[in-house]
Amino acid sequence: MNTKTIVITGGPGSGKTSIINELTKRGLTCSEEISREVILKAREKGIEQLFITNPIQFSETLLEGRIEQYKDALESNNEFVFLDRGIPDISAYMDFKGDTYPDFFYEACEKYKYDSVFILAPWQDIFTSDSERYENFDQAQEIHEKLLETYTKYGYNLRDVPFGSVEARADHIIDVVKAL
């Protein structure tokens, strides 16, 4: 079976994780966002914000994890695998921060291609900060723009997810995916 890899992306606080949780609840195969895990592991080593203090190390760790998620998705026996963020998100975040980064980040974006990408716009009504999310809403909007630029640069036709309840947003994604 050729598994289709479906990315759900968007700036911080746009509802990605809630949608991934809803899709999982419905029995669909999903890969969770790994950046929180990377952040928490760094904190265990005494590094409060690895993305800020060493963005390349943070991004390399994310890249390794996202490539592993991609490969795992392709090896699955499921028709679709939904991923909370994709490899191009890493470049978009580094562009947002203004960092320069090695060519292997670009190469990974070219090599590991997803079948479809859904993007969630910033939504002030649901945006919250927490101990792993340091961005404010204005920064979330800037990150969204970087995500649009980055995914477009790599040839993706981004599919917008309208605002609504988590269930309605999940329904929208499932309806579009079934039509692929």
| pLDDT per residue as tens digits for the range 83-106 | 999 999 999 999 998 888 899 999
pLDDT at 76 over 60: yes
Report pLDDT digits (tens) over 42-62: 777 776 676 667 778 888 989
145 contacts: CB under 8 Å, gap ≥ 6:
none
To the nearest whole number, what is the mean pLDDT of the chain? Answer: 90
pLDDT of amino acid 147: 98
Q: For helices 55-75 and 87-97, what crossing angle results, to 10°? A: 160
pLDDT > 90: percent of the chain: 64
Q: What is the pLDDT of residue 21?
A: 96
CB atoms within 10 A of CB 57: 14
pLDDT at 97: 87
> Which residues face 83 on adjacent strands?
7, 31
Locate the domains of the chain by residue range. Answer: 4-178
Which of 15, 10, 1 minimizes the C-alpha distance to 140? 10
If you average pLDDT over residues 140-158, what whole number do you get? 96
Prediction pTM value: 0.90
User: Does residue 132 have a pLDDT over 60?
Assistant: no
Note the CATH architecture for domain 4-178.
3-Layer(aba) Sandwich (3.40)
Confidence label for 22 from pLDDT (cuts 50, 70 and 90):
very high
* More confident site: 59 or 129: 59
Q: How far apart are the first and last CA of the chain?
A: 15
Q: Can you give the pLDDT at residue 127? A: 74
Instruction: Report how far apart, in Å, the C-alpha atoms of 109 and of each of 29, 52, 154 are.
Output: 22, 22, 7
Q: Which two tokens stand for residue 127?
A: 């945006």
Share of the chain above pLDDT 70, in %: 93
CA distance linking residue 119 with residue 5, whole number of Å: 14
